[in-house]
Structure 1
Amino acid sequence: MTARVDELRAGLEAVRERMDRACEAAGRARDEVNLVVVTKYFPASDVRLLADLGVTDVGENRHQEAEQKAQECADLDLRWHFIGGLQSNKAAAVAAYAHVVESVDRPKLVAPLSRGAAGRPEPVDVLLQVSLDPPGASHRAGADPGALPALSDAVAAADHLRLAGLMAVAPLGEDPAVAFARLAEVRRSVLSDHPEATVLSAGMSGDLEQAIAHGATHVRVGSAILGPRPVIL
């Protein structure tokens, strides 16, 4: 276990140093950018070690795995971010444990999320996942930017949800800086109607610097901290 602690500490230090340099280069205060450590496929024991090392925000992609880890680590003071593709029939269950749902990309998710969040002491924060792919491209996930006004209004009107901001992933094969520049424009449009939606979750292990340069308030980092994902048979 000591060896694993050392690995995680080294990974965290390296990523935090990258974030420090990126904030300095962008002329931003370091406390403007938060780290979400993505623990997909890694055990709850790693989450506990990360918490001991000062990590407060943990991201998960798969509902069943996320729910189990949240239960196993319920004694820890963590904010759980659900960042994977979300099915409408799982949305209520996700909202029961996730503090932040980062992958809302269609109106159909809003009602079940709000229903699942009804028993929470605070509203669940929602990030709208926006697609940065060119028009007509076969994109991985995310709402078309043109659909965001209606989606924003739907989330803002939900009783147990709080519209917190946007999330995006840079398209494969494109310069992340160009994609995140487009995202910054989309963000400005959303903020004009919903000034409270200030969160911007963008940037991962390979492109966090470019995301910070274009206004990211949260970066989602997994492999650069935890190492290569375990092979799941």
Structure 2
Amino acid sequence: MTDRAAEIAANLADVRDRIAAACARAGRTPSDVRLLAVTKTFPASDAAILADLGVLDLAENRDQDAAPKSDEVRALRPGVPVRWHMVGRLQRNKAKSVARWADEVQSVDSTRLADVLGAAAAERPTPLDVLLQASIDGDPARGGCPLSDLDYLADHVIRSSELRLRGIMAVAPLGMEPAAAFERLAGAAQQLRALYPTARELSCGMSNDLEEAVDHGSTCVRVGTALLGGRGLASP
């Protein structure tokens, strides 16, 4: 094992311990919380190491980085069933490219974006999994759909045969305590599930606040820094 692989393995063990401890406190099972490794700014070799360690859900936030990186990882680890997730704000003109490499898009925040993604996903053999990105504080500058509009957006998404609604995603707003933010988000997630039973996923919690997210029902934590360290050198 290389030094880098050993470093990532140790970090992964720490993150899994944190998830397990948080689940124990919340009375939950660790297997109910999916670890999504955010590999943005890090090279494909790091993504390949994560795959070797059994982390097969990988996330990127920029199409121009993710498209070549996913190809490179596929070449490095042929046959390994890595699932790629788009977690960043998505420009509509990037939808066609994203639909080619992403297995799931966690940042659908408007009907217009849903429409172009649905059209792009028509070329895929299977529907594209999507999460609605919620804005907990309603600030449009950071992206996301206001909580009060989630039902309308969800209804629009499920009308597309090319998209598959899986749940909601959000980031705790700056200046708001994560626990308070995730409590508000959990209420919105519960309402959404009641109307759309397939929308089971609640993606919230990152390196600094995954414990609070697990405590409020997160089923997917998006972890980058705690796994890979500070900002890395992106692959060409």
Given the two structures, how large is their TM-score scaled by the length of structure 2?
0.94
2:56 aligns with 56
1:116 aligns with 120
1:58-137 alignment runs, 5 A limit = 58-74=58-74, 75=78, 76-133=80-137, 135=138, 137=139
Give distance in 1, aligned partners of 2:67 and 2:32.
29
**What's the CA shift for 1:183?**
0.3
Per-residue deviation, residues 161-209 of structure 1 (Å, max 9, x unmatched): 1000000000112110000000011111111211110001000000000
1:160 to 159, 162, 177: 162
2:43 aligned with 1:43, yes or no?
yes
**What's the CA shift for 1:138?**
5.8
Contact kept, 8 Å, 2:42 with 2:233, in 1: the verdict is no
**For residue 142 of structure 1, what is the amino acid of its counterpart?**
G
Aligned residue pairs: how many?
A: 230
1:21 aligns with 21
1:172 to 169, 174, 179: 174
Q: Which runs of 5+ in 1 are unaligned?
A: none
1:209 aligns with 211
Go from structure 1 to structure 2 and tell me whether the alpha carbon gap of 1:80 and 1:231 turns closer, same or farther (over 3 Å shift).
closer
Contact kept, 8 Å, 1:131 with 1:139, in 2: the verdict is no
SS at match of 2:47: helix
1:192 aligns with 194
**What's the CA shift for 1:29?**
1.1
Moved more, 30-39 or 74-83: 74-83
Moved more, 78-87 or 106-115: 106-115
Give distance in 1, aligned partners of 2:87 and 2:130.
11
Give distance in 1, aligned partners of 2:133 and 2:106.
6
Per-residue deviation, residues 52-77 of structure 1 (Å, max 9, x unmatched): 01111001000010111111122231
**What's the CA shift for 1:122?**
2.0
Per-residue deviation, residues 127-158 of structure 1 (Å, max 9, x unmatched): 0000011x5x4641211112111210111111
SS at match of 1:96: helix
**For residue 183 of structure 1, what is the amino acid of its counterpart?**
L
Give distance in 1, aligned partners of 2:96 and 2:163.
12
1:34 aligns with 34
Give distance in 1, aligned partners of 2:44 and 2:119.
27
Give distance in 1, aligned partners of 2:116 and 2:73.
25
Moved more, 70-79 or 204-213: 70-79
**What's the CA shift for 1:231?**
6.4
Q: Percent identity?
A: 50
**For residue 205 of structure 2, what is the amino acid of its counterpart?**
G
**What's the CA shift for 1:82?**
0.2
* RMSD (CA atoms): 1.4
**For residue 184 of structure 2, what is the amino acid of its counterpart?**
R
**What's the CA shift for 1:12?**
0.4
Given the two structures, how large is their TM-score scaled by the length of structure 1?
0.95
2:11 aligns with 11
**For residue 21 of structure 1, what is the amino acid of its counterpart?**
A
**What's the CA shift for 1:120?**
2.1
Per-residue deviation, residues 74-129 of structure 1 (Å, max 9, x unmatched): 22311100000100111121111101100000111112211222232221110000
**For residue 27 of structure 1, what is the amino acid of its counterpart?**
G
